[in-house]
């Protein structure tokens, strides 16, 4: 059994219609359940739930506090390479773009890592473009071996790999893998991903299955909000999460909410999600699932992050640089996305303290 | 009130506290003090055991509290033994709360791995308090394997649902030759008092205090509830009856 078989049982348009058909009564029913299911979740992400955002936020905040306490985990991305053989039409690292390509050497990786350690981080997220030769399995294995002695927890956001490769990386100390489907709309997926390995919808979709089989501790899901109807994509994430939790019950799960914004010259999103709607999605996920990690990156503005972190979020990045060498080495590489929240990790920690939350820098260990 | 004795050490308080989920380490310290507790458990994965300046450890005064490191986060006996040995060396204590939960959703204990780890750690000289399912057979097996106390759950960790496992905890208490500490799920002082009235030797609380609006006041409330429950247990509660007990309707004719 793999998720592709589950997905085949659902029709995108029917799902979409059923979400938009949800009524006020459906929303009230969902809010009054001790535990929501996937039908209730449709109501919570539907337009009918918009007037109930305050109630959703309150419910979400309490559920998050009960499970995670008044704490936020802090992590930071380390971009190792922007070399990429994919041609995702929305991405700055796309193979088509004539940009300076940089892959950090071992010395450079360690220099960057030491700068990150100085900021206080114990949880590190390694990011690369998808390039088998420049930044494939062998390169990543070496990077993890180099970094393992210095960090309590190492995660990656890199190209999908095989079960065996994931097993080897886990033994070397890999904790979590984030792999975003971008969109669950199979037909339109290929328009956004016309070339490279990423053009294979099914291989990408089944990556979390391979991660679960490999015993990876935490598996990160997500879609790029702005490609297809976001309510339908978000519901498919919930379906995916529910399948994975039952199948790979020893893994934890995480969801991120990257959203595309209109920008001059670049890819224009097909659909824009507002701040209110993004908060609605975050609260809906928490009401559906009390254990899942919900993460908010520095793509979001300081104002949004400062208000939303209490309402369902459990992990935040801080002080992020999204170009290889951004912390210490300083190359000519371009950043993958524009960082909106430019504050330092210490400033984020102070903000959390002011709002009576504890910043958690370390929640794992090398032996685990 | 009788003193609690675990592995030969006396404790004046029968309330143990966890250190997770507090909004600051300062507030955690104040709540620990207000609770009157003398035993505090902290997850090894949260502390930097090599660093004497670790911010969590700095807030747990060793003169006031016995530190009980726990292995929360490990999934196998092998990982638990490894973590225990690291903790013993770095923190200079052979006390350990053994927690093995491979299921990250409900954080339920893995019975087979817990028993295996307990046997091995006891041979290595650890004082082990294992977190466990409320399984009376397992409680005896852990006792035989060398556990210093057993810690059955009241309900899933952090759920605040109280003593869902009540009937099984009663059997564990009845059969135990070592202290029984009800751990996990106690969400209100009344739940803690109930566990103590049933004859539990102690209770461990974390979420209900850490997530309260006023954790310090809640810590004190638990302190009082645990004392009240224990005193009631020692004073021997009267039996509960379904009806008022009049005279002896069946045999009173004999007195006529």
Size of chain B, expressed as the number of residues it contains: 256
Domain span at residue B191?
Answer: 12-255
CA distance B134 to chain A (A): 21
Mean pLDDT, residues A4-23 taken together = 96
> Residue B243: pLDDT band by 50, 70, 90 thresholds?
low
- Average pLDDT, whole number, for chain B? 92
**DSSP class of residue A48?**
G
Is residue B121 a contact partner of residue B87, using CB atoms and an 8 Å limit?
A: no
**pTM attached to this predicted model:** 0.87
> Residue A309: pLDDT band by 50, 70, 90 thresholds?
very high
CB contact under 8 A, B45 and A363: yes
Mean pLDDT, residues B149-156 taken together = 96
Order of strands, sheet of B151-152, starting from the edge strand that comes earlier in the sequence: B151-152, B127-132, B95-98, B66-70, B39-43, B15-18, B202-205, B181-183
pLDDT tens digits along A60-99:
999 999 999 999 999 999 999 998 888 888 887 888 788 8
Q: Tell me, yes or no, whether B2 lies in a domain.
A: no
- For residue B193, give the CATH number of its domain: 3.20.20.70
Q: Tell me, yes or no, whether B5 lies in a domain.
A: no
* Residue whose pair of structure tokens reads 């010259």 in the numeric block: A265
Q: How far apart, in whole angstroms, are the C-alpha atoms of residue A152 and residue A113?
A: 13
Q: Tell me, yes or no, whether B4 lies in a domain.
A: no
Binding residues of B for 1-deoxy-D-xylulose 5-phosphate: 158, 184-185, 206-207
CB contact under 8 A, A368 and B25: no
Is residue B173 a contact partner of residue B165, using CB atoms and an 8 Å limit?
A: no
Q: Tell me, yes or no, whether B7 lies in a domain.
A: no
Token output for B95: 């006390």
pLDDT value of position A263: 66
The total number of structural domains in chain B stands at 1
Mutation to test the B interface, candidates A34, A66, A246, most B Cβ within 10 Å: A66
Q: Within 13 Å of residue B68, how many CA atoms lie on the same side as its CB? A: 24
Whether B142 shows a pLDDT value over 90: the answer reads yes
pLDDT tens digits along B71-85:
998 999 999 999 999
Residue of B nearest to A292 (CA): B105
* Three-state DSSP class for residue B131: strand
Whether A163 shows a pLDDT value over 70: the answer reads yes
Mean pLDDT, residues A226-240 taken together = 97
Q: How many CB atoms sit inside 10 A of residue B173's CB?
A: 20
* ipTM summary value: 0.75
Q: Tell me which chain A residues have a C-beta less than 8 angstroms from the C-beta of B207.
A: 66, 69
The residues of B that are catalytic are 97
Q: How far apart, in whole angstroms, are the C-alpha atoms of residue B27 and residue B15?
A: 18
b/e A95-118 (16+ beta carbons within 10 angstroms → b): beeeeebbbbeeebbbbbbebbee
Is residue B230 a contact partner of residue B1, using CB atoms and an 8 Å limit?
A: yes
DSSP secondary structure string for all residues of A346-367: HHHHHHHHHTT-EEE-----TT
CB contact under 8 A, A365 and B44: yes
Residue of B nearest to A61 (CA): B211
Q: Tell me, yes or no, whether B88 lies in a domain.
A: yes
Q: How far apart, in whole angstroms, are the C-alpha atoms of residue B136 and residue B140?
A: 7
Mean pLDDT, residues A175-201 taken together = 94
* Residue whose pair of structure tokens reads 């009564």 in the numeric block: A25
Is residue A351 a contact partner of residue A303, using CB atoms and an 8 Å limit?
A: no
pLDDT value of position B237: 81
* B223: exposed, middle or buried (Cβ count in 10 Å: 0-12, 13-18, 19+): buried
Mean pLDDT, residues A340-356 taken together = 94
> Residue B191: pLDDT band by 50, 70, 90 thresholds?
very high
Q: Tell me which chain B residues have a C-beta less than 8 angstroms from the C-beta of A70.
A: 21-23, 210-211
pLDDT tens digits along A118-144:
999 999 999 999 988 888 999 999 999
A250 inside 8 A of chain B by CB: yes
Q: How far apart, in whole angstroms, are the C-alpha atoms of residue B172 and residue B137?
A: 8
CB contact under 8 A, B22 and A69: yes
pLDDT value of position B239: 72
Residue B161 CA, distance from chain mean position: 15
* Three-state DSSP class for residue B98: strand
Residue of B nearest to A69 (CA): B21
Mean pLDDT, residues B98-107 taken together = 92
Is residue B70 a contact partner of residue B97, using CB atoms and an 8 Å limit?
A: yes
* Residue whose pair of structure tokens reads 């592995």 in the numeric block: B7
Whether A265 shows a pLDDT value over 70: the answer reads no
Out of B20, B44, B73, closest to residue A69 by CB:
B20
CB contact under 8 A, A249 and B103: yes
Q: Tell me, yes or no, whether B1 lies in a domain.
A: no
CB contact under 8 A, A358 and B24: yes
Q: Tell me, yes or no, whether B179 lies in a domain.
A: yes
* Three-state DSSP class for residue A222: strand
A71 inside 8 A of chain B by CB: yes
Q: Tell me, yes or no, whether B163 lies in a domain.
A: yes
Out of B21, B46, B75, closest to residue A68 by CB:
B21
Q: Which of B210, B186, B212 is nearest to B198 (CA)?
A: B186
Is residue B158 a contact partner of residue A66, using CB atoms and an 8 Å limit?
A: yes
Q: Tell me which chain B residues have a C-beta less than 8 angstroms from the C-beta of A250.
A: 75, 102-104
CA distance B102 to chain A (A): 6
CB contact under 8 A, A69 and B46: no
b/e A251-290 (16+ beta carbons within 10 angstroms → b): bbbbbbbbbbeeeeeebebeeebeeebbbbbbbbbbbbbb
CA distance A60 to chain B (A): 14
Domains of chain A in sequence order: 74-273+292-360 (3.20.20.70)
Mean pLDDT, residues A168-188 taken together = 96
């Amino acid at each position: 059994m793999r998720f592709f078989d589950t997905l085949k049982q659902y029709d995108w348009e029917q799902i979409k219609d059923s979400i938009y058909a949800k009524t006020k009564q459906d929303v009230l029913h969902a809010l009054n359940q001790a535990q929501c299911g996937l039908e209730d979740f449709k109501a919570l992400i539907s337009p009918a739930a918009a007037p109930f955002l305050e109630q959703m936020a309150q419910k979400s905040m309490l559920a998050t506090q009960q499970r995670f306490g008044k704490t936020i985990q802090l992590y930071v991305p380390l971009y190792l390479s922007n070399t990429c053989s994919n041609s995702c039409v929305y991405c700055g690292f796309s193979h088509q773009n004539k940009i300076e390509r940089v892959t950090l050497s071992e010395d450079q990786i360690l220099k960057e890592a030491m700068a990150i350690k100085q900021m206080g981080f114990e949880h590190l997220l390694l990011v690369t473009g998808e390039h088998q030769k420049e930044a494939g399995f062998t390169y990543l294995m070496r990077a993890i071996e180099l970094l393992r002695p210095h960090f309590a927890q190492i995660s990656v956001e890199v190209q999908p790999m095989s079960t065996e490769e994931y097993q080897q990386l886990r033994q070397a100390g890999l904790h979590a893998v984030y792999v975003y489907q971008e969109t669950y709309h199979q037909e339109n997926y290929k328009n956004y991903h016309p070339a490279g390995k990423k053009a294979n919808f099914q291989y990408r979709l089944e990556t979390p299955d391979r991660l679960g089989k490999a015993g990876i501790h935490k598996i990160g899901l997500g879609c790029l909000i702005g490609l297809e109807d976001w309510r339908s994509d978000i519901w498919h994430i919930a379906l995916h999460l529910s399948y994975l939790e039952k199948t790979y019950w020893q893994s934890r799960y995480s969801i991120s909410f990257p959203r595309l914004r209109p920008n001059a010259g670049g890819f224009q999103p097909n659909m824009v999600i507002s701040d209110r709607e993004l908060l609605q999605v975050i609260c809906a996920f928490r009401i559906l699932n009390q254990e899942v990690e919900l993460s908010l990156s520095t793509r979001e503005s300081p104002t949004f992050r400062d208000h939303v972190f209490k309402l369902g979020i459990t992990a935040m990045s801080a002080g992020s640089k999204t170009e290889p060498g951004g912390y210490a080495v300083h190359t000519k590489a371009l950043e993958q996305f524009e960082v909106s929240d430019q504050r330092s990790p210490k400033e984020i920690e102070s903000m959390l303290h002011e709002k009576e939350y504890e910043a958690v820098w370390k929640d794992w260990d090398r032996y685990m | 009130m009788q003193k609690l004795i675990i592995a030969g050490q006396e404790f004046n308080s029968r309330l143990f506290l966890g250190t997770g989920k507090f909004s600051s380490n300062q507030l955690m310290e104040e709540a620990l003090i207000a609770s009157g507790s003398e035993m505090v458990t902290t997850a090894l994965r949260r502390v930097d055991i090599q660093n004497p300046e670790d911010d969590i450890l700095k807030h747990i005064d060793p003169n006031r509290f016995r530190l009980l490191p726990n292995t929360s986060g490990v999934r196998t006996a092998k990982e638990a033994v490894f973590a225990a040995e690291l903790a013993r060396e770095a923190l200079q204590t052979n006390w350990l709360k053994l927690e093995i939960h491979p299921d990250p959703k409900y954080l339920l204990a893995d019975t087979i791995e817990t028993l295996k780890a307990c046997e091995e750690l006891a041979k290595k000289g650890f004082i082990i308090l294992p977190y466990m399912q409320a399984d009376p057979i397992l409680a005896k097996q852990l006792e035989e394997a060398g556990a210093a106390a057993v810690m059955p759950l009241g309900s899933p960790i952090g759920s605040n649902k109280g003593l869902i496992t009540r009937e099984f905890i009663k059997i564990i208490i009845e059969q135990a030759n070592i202290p029984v500490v009800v751990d996990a799920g106690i969400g209100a002082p009344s739940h803690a008092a109930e566990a103590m009235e049933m004859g539990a030797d102690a209770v461990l609380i974390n979420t209900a205090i850490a997530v309260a609006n006023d954790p310090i006041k809640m810590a004190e409330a638990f302190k009082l509830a645990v004392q009240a429950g224990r005193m009631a247990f020692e004073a021997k509660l009267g039996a509960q009856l379904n009806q008022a007990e009049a005279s002896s309707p069946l045999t009173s004719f004999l007195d006529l």
